[in-house]
């Protein structure tokens, strides 16, 4: 769900999305345009559990392509993986642990997919994504579209 489009400090246009994913759920974030002359880069990616008192061990990931199945494995060798976040918490812990990685420099102009998998309790997670809008030249749009389409093949 598109939340907002705004300019950040250095005149970067940022689109924000937020949502809630059940365990083993996948959301499609619609970004593709007719001419493909707008690209995106992940600027920020945050996750947070719905119930802070729940035992959770979640993996939330962002992909270039729709996933046939949702799992908690994080494979940095997967060229379709754009970002990954992990959240661990249990009622006996003093504080939750959070780790996330965003692969810089990856520009895309097609839809992206967000997945959630919980190893412990089938807990849902909230997510928040900021995408930097990157204008593309005709050649850049063609290259990015072909690269994204090959990723789905």
Position of tokens 């063609």? 142
Domain containing 145 — which CATH number?
Answer: 2.60.120
Instruction: Give residue 22's domain range.
Output: 2-152
**What pLDDT score does 77 carry?**
93
For the chain, which ranges sit under pLDDT 50? none
The model carries a pTM of: 0.82
**What pLDDT score does 136 carry?**
82
Q: How many domains does the chain have?
A: 1
**What pLDDT score does 54 carry?**
79
Do 135 and 39 form a contact (C-beta atoms < 8 A)? yes
**What pLDDT score does 37 carry?**
81
Do 61 and 81 form a contact (C-beta atoms < 8 A)? yes
């Amino acid at each position: 769900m598109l939340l907002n489009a705004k300019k950040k400090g250095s005149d970067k246009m940022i689109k924000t999305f937020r949502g809630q994913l059940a365990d083993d759920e996948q959301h499609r974030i619609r970004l593709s345009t007719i001419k493909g002359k707008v690209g995106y880069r992940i600027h920020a990616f945050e996750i947070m559990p719905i119930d802070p008192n729940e035992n959770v061990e979640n993996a939330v990931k962002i992909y270039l392509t729709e996933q046939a199945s949702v799992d908690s494995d994080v494979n940095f060798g997967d060229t379709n993986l754009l970002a990954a976040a992990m959240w661990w918490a249990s009622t006996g812990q003093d504080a939750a642990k959070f780790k996330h990685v965003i692969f810089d420099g990856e520009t895309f102009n097609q839809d992206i997919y967000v997945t959630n998998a919980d190893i412990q309790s089938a807990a849902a997670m909230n997510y928040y994504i900021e995408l930097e809008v990157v204008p593309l030249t005709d050649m850049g749009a063609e290259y990015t579209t072909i690269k994204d389409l090959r990723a789905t093949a």
